[in-house]
Amino acid sequence: MNTYLVVCFAFAVAGINAGSVHLTGAQKDKAAQNVVECMKETGTKADVVAEVKKGHFTDDENIKKFTLCFFEKAGVVDHDGKLNVEAALAKLPTGVDKAEAKKLLEDCKNKKGKDAADTAYEIFKCYHAGTKTHILL
């Protein structure tokens, strides 16, 4: 299963500086669980998630629902898609420049979509575009 591949997409929040950071074992396990649950709940296919992870964003409604589902389960957005910056910062692993991540998250939290799922997806796209460091498993 592509679960571990898609986890990188699912919460690609990290610092601005080039490089990479790793999730802890517990974070990996929880992220993998959330990915599987959200794929089932939203009908999102692993190949679609993998493409978005690469930065190939699509207007697919299921991937938007997946993003909202994952971020809700992670506790970083509410049911309306509103980003909780402090909660997101608390989820970042060691090695992330939290000051730079906070600045980017503050910029991205104002993104709005046509509904909660679209809003969560727009926030994710904003963050993905603004960060050079991604979380690795």
Q: What is the pLDDT of residues 69-105, one digit of tens each?
A: 999 999 999 999 999 999 999 888 777 788 999 999 9
**CA angle 64–86–2, rounded 5-degree value:** 40
| 133 φ/ψ angles, rounded to the nearest 5 degrees | -110, 130
Q: What does the block give as tokens for 52?
A: 């978005």
Which residue has better confidence, 98 or 62?
A: 62
Domain ranges of the chain: 3-136
User: What pTM was estimated for this model as a whole?
Assistant: 0.81
CATH class of 3-136: mainly alpha
